[in-house]
Amino acid sequence: MGRESSSSDSSSSERDYCNMDTQVILNVYDLTPINSYSIWFGFGIFHSGIQVYGMEYGFGAHDFPISGVFEVEPKSCPGFTYRCSIPLGHVTKSPSEFREFIETVASEYHGDTYHLISKNCNHFTDDISQRLTGRGIPGWVNRLAKLGALCSCLLPESLQVTTVKQLPEYHNCDEDGTDSESSSNAQVPLESFDDTEQDKHLLSPPASSEVAFIKEVAR
């Protein structure tokens, strides 16, 4: 009986591992109503986040050389209009392994390195998808950035905005899975960053209590 129970538990665990909870999903958002028309020509202006284990992870801009990776509830990134979700595959990491992974990746995506053409939110989700599933995101999601790299005049002036002036609030993941909020960079004065130094085209979700930046771990 014990062996049968153990075998049954193992089979059940394997089945659970392939359920929706382990899916890697790309959530795509519209940044402008123009997308309703431009999508027919194969491009648009989109934000995307990668959903894993019930949370969505994105990359946004701020003025500081620290993590620009943030997490929100799936399909609810503030400031953007949800369009669709695209299954990309399954994650093989456990929740704790994935958390360690995303915190490590956060050190590669600092808020002050965000660039609308060369390192935007869609570059981030494509990179994460490649690492987790071995496949990238659909080309149409980030096609405008590729076109913009050839001709920056394709980008509307409304998207050529500067970084937001805010200190990221970090939510640390405790052993029991609960979040504890902190701001480890509160001592950094906002006045120490000069607007003239920000010669970049940046885009970021608005300051919101719904957005929690991932605190990077030392590599």
Amino acid of residue 67: S
Burial of 4 (0-12, 13-18, 19+ CB in 10 A): exposed
Tokens of 16: 């659970």
- Catalytic (active-site) positions: 47, 121
Cα–chain-centroid distance for residue 67?
11
How far is 81 from 3, CA to CA, in rounded Å? 51
